Chain A
Amino acid sequence: LAKTTQPISMDSYEGQEVNITCSHNNIATNDYITWYQQFPSQGPRFIIQGYKTKVTNEVASLFIPADRKSSTLSLPRVSLSDTAVYYCLVVRRGSTLGRLYFGRGTQLTVWP
């Protein structure tokens, strides 16, 4: 599976838009990009998944360019409660289910 690279940490202020970029240069045709969020003392929580172009749900948007070698998770107007670790994962369609490979993620800290 393609290795992912994302910033170790990011800081933002309440009300700002936050964009976290993930690099996955060796992504394959059958791979999807998936993001999870983890709060302290909790398990990860699925946020969004996409294959190409743009995906939006009630929590976030995911932008994937045509070459799919990177992706950007966009959180609109963050609040203090968005402080968490965000993981970018590449998941292969049709692979052994649930074999998720987590990197160190991006620690997002939102300040008042």
Chain B
Amino acid sequence: NAGVTQTPKFQVLKTGQSMTLQCAQDMNHEYMSWYRQDPGMGLRLIHYSVGAGITDQGEVPNGYNVSRSTTEDFPLRLLSAAPSQTSVYFCASSYAGTGVNQPQHFGDGTRLSIL
């Protein structure tokens, strides 16, 4: 059982380049989300999706796009990379559930450097 898989694990970009961070989960989770983590900080929510075809913005969405065409995949796109987007990016998924929120399952992250 692979869980949440993120690719690539590391990436270096030049300012202005575009890139897509991939996230896939094999647990049939309805909910998926993207976070970024900067040094010494907690995680901040970028975008999230409650199901295929449905996405919404989180706390820090500027500079990022997402789409959800399948239950399994939730790619994060940087259209024009900026040094401020240097960070570690985590993808997470969970069951939608009812009542009590379900635990989030996180990938191991993509470490992105923008020069």
Q: Show the binding face of A for B, using Cβ within 8 Å.
A: 32, 34, 36, 41-46, 49, 87, 91-105
Residue pairs across A and B with CB atoms within 8 Å: the count is 74
Once bound together, how far apart are the Cα atoms of A32 and B107, in whole Å?
24
Q: Does B43 lie within 8 Å of A44, measured CB to CB?
A: yes
Q: In the assembled complex, which residues on chain A have CB atoms less than 8 Å from the CB atom of B100?
A: 32, 49, 93
Q: Does B90 lie within 8 Å of A43, measured CB to CB?
A: yes
Q: Which residue of A lies closest to B56 (CB)?
A: A96
For residue B33, CB closer than 8 A to chain A, the reply is: yes
Q: Does B42 lie within 8 Å of A98, measured CB to CB?
A: no
For residue B53, CB closer than 8 A to chain A, the reply is: no
Q: In the assembled complex, which residues on chain B have CB atoms less than 8 Å from the CB atom of A45?
A: 106
The minimal Cβ–Cβ distance linking A5 to chain B, given in whole angstroms, is 13
Also in contact, A97 and B96, with CB within 8 A (given A102-B44, A103-B42)? yes
The minimal Cβ–Cβ distance linking A58 to chain B, given in whole angstroms, is 14
Q: Does B104 lie within 8 Å of A105, measured CB to CB?
A: no
Which one, B43, B56, B104, B109, contacts A42 given CB within 8 A? B109
Q: Show the binding face of B for A, using Cβ within 8 Å.
A: 4, 30-31, 33, 35, 40-45, 48, 50, 56, 58-59, 90, 92, 94, 96-97, 99-109
Once bound together, how far apart are the Cα atoms of A36 and B33, in whole Å?
16
Once bound together, how far apart are the Cα atoms of A42 and B92, in whole Å?
12
Q: In the assembled complex, which residues on chain B have CB atoms less than 8 Å from the CB atom of A46?
A: 103-105
Q: Does A98 lie within 8 Å of B101, measured CB to CB?
A: yes
The minimal Cβ–Cβ distance linking A74 to chain B, given in whole angstroms, is 19
Q: Does B31 lie within 8 Å of A43, measured CB to CB?
A: no
Which one, A34, A44, A103, contacts B106 given CB within 8 A? A44
The minimal Cβ–Cβ distance linking A22 to chain B, given in whole angstroms, is 13
Once bound together, how far apart are the Cα atoms of A105 and B40, in whole Å?
9
The minimal Cβ–Cβ distance linking B56 to chain A, given in whole angstroms, is 8
Q: Which are the 5 A-B pairs with shortest beta-carbon distances?
A: A43-B106, A102-B42, A46-B103, A102-B43, A43-B90
Q: Does B106 lie within 8 Å of A99, measured CB to CB?
A: no
Q: In the assembled complex, which residues on chain A have CB atoms less than 8 Å from the CB atom of B102?
A: 97
